[in-house]
Chain A
Amino acid sequence: MSINQILPFLSTAIMLGFTIYVFQRFFVRRNPAFLYWGIGLAMFCAGSFAEAYLSLAWNKSVFFIWYLFGAALNAAWLGHGTLNLLVKKSWVHVVTVALVAGSLFATYLMLQAMPKLDTAVFTTDKPVSEQYGTKALEAGQAAPAGAQTMTTTYRGREVTAVRGLLPLGTPVRLTTPFFNIYGLFTLVGGAIWSAYLFWRKRVMPNRVIANVLIAAGALSIGFASTLTRLGYGQYLYLGELISAILMFVGFLYAAKPQTDEELIQKRVPASAD
C-alpha cells in the first residue's frame, strides 16, 4: 500500500472519532448545532471512507456515496451547524428546510446519473476526484497527458471532451457549487466571525484559537480540492488529513472548560462551541 492509499483511511478514522464525539455532545446538550455538525461530519467520514475505498477498487455504490456526501453535501451541513449559532432561529428553520429539500433533490439527481456512469475510464492510479467529471475542451486546448478523450455533441455543438465518470452536463454537478459556496461561507466565515467576536471582547482565548483552527481546517480541504482540479492530486489526501486533524483539535479546544466561562458565554452568544 502506498502512502496515498493509507492517508484516506487515517482521515476516515479521525473523522469517525470526531463524528462520535459531536453526536455525543448533541445527545448531552440537545443543541441542534451539534446535530447539523454531526450530520456533516458523518457525511465527511462516509466520503473519506469512499475515497479510500476507491483508491483500491471500483464500486458503483461507493462512488454514489463519495460524490453525494463527500463532494456535494458535507460542507453545507457542517456550515449549517455554525449558522445555527450565529443567526436567529427563525432564519435557521427556513434555511434548514431549503437544505433538506436541496439535499433530497441532489440525491434524486445523483440517482438519475448513476445508470449513465462511464465506468470504463476508472483507474485506481489517481484519486477519484481527478477522474469523476467529463470536461469539454476549448478549441485548440490540448488534453492532459494520459487523458482519454472523446468527441460528443454538447449544447448543440460537437466538442472534444476528456472522459470522466459522470457524463458531460450531468445536472447533479450543477448543484455542487451551491452547497459548497454555502458551506464555505457559513463554516469558514462563521468560524472567522466567532473568533473575531471573542477576540474583540478579549474573552475566551481558547475559542479564538479553536475557531481559527476550524477555519484553517475547512480551508485546507478547499485548497487541496482546488489543487487536485489543477492537476496536483497527490496533495488531496494530505489536505484531507490536515483538515480532519485541525477541525477536530479546534472542536476539542473549543470544548475545553475554562474558569468563569459560563458567565462570559452569556455576554458573547456566538461560538463554535
Chain B
Amino acid sequence: MIKQMPAKTSPSRIPPNSLLFEKIIPALLIMLGLVTLGLILFAAGVLLGIIQF
C-alpha cells in the first residue's frame, strides 16, 4: 500500500485555505482601492474648484 504524502506548498505559491490570503488580503485590496478612488475624486474636486479645501 502506497502511503499518501501531504502535498508540499512551494513558497512561491499562495498557500490554500489561508485566512490571510483568502479573507484579509482581498478585503484590504478592496478597501485600499476605494480609499484611493475617494482621494482621487477628492483631489479632482479640489482641482476643479468643486470642493473648497
Contact = CB atoms under 8 A, between A and B. Distances in A.
Interface of A: 138, 177-178, 180-181, 184-185, 188-189, 192, 195-196, 198-199, 202-205, 208-209, 212, 215-216, 219, 222, 226, 229, 258-261, 263-264
Contacts of B53: 229
Contacts of A259: 10-12
A198 B29 CA distance: 12
Given A138-B52, A212-B32, A203 B13 contact: yes
A195 B26 CA distance: 10
Interface of B: 10-15, 21, 25-26, 28-29, 32-33, 35-36, 39-40, 42-44, 46-47, 52-53
A260 B12 contact: yes
B25 A188 contact: no
Contact of B29 (A199, A202, A204, A263): A199
Q: Which 4 A-B pairs have the closest CB atoms?
A: A177-B47, A202-B14, A258-B12, A188-B36
9 contacts: A181-B40, A188-B36, A198-B14, A215-B32, A215-B36, A226-B39, A259-B11, A261-B12, A264-B12
Contacts of A202: 13-14
Given A181-B40, A205-B13, 12 more contacts: A177-B44, A185-B40, A199-B26, A199-B29, A202-B14, A205-B11, A209-B25, A219-B32, A219-B35, A222-B39, A258-B11, A264-B12
Contacts of B44: 177, 181
Given A199-B14, A204-B12, A229-B53, A189 B36 contact: yes
Nearest to A261: B12
Given A184-B36, A203-B12, A212 B52 contact: no
A215 B31 CA distance: 11
